[in-house]
Amino acid sequence: MLDGNLWEWNLARVVVVDVTDDYRLMLGPMPCEFYPVLREIWVPRHKLSEALHSDDLVTGYLYDWHESPLDDRGSWYVGVVDEGLMKVYPSPRA
């Protein structure tokens, strides 16, 4: 007999945070909890890294980094940057 909530073992909580100000203001990284939260989602743990690098986590934002939880019950954090910043500060190769 299975006991407990199986979804807790199959899904991971992902918190998408806006780290745009780190680039705009040239600041060093802060703890994940200090950034504005754009979205919280639950995704399958299977192939989680593919989901974290997805372009459609938040429309108009680009993936920057992610941080895994300390234990299985913690949240994953994904830092994203407003793609409009690329228009203000174009790549030196462009």
For the chain, give every domain's residue range.
7-88
**Rounded CA separation 38/43 (Å):** 16
pTM of the model: 0.82
pLDDT of residue 48: 85
SS (H, E, C) the chain: CCCCCCHHHHEEEEEEEECHHHHHCCCCCCCHHHCCEEEEEEEECCCHHHHHCCCCCCCCEEEEEEECCCCCCCCEEEEEEECCHHHHCCCCCC
Q: What average pLDDT does range 42-69 have in this prediction?
A: 86
Mean per-residue pLDDT for 72-88? 87
CA-based angle 13:61:63, to the nearest 5? 60
More confidently predicted of 57 and 35: 35
CB 83 within 8 A of CB 55: no
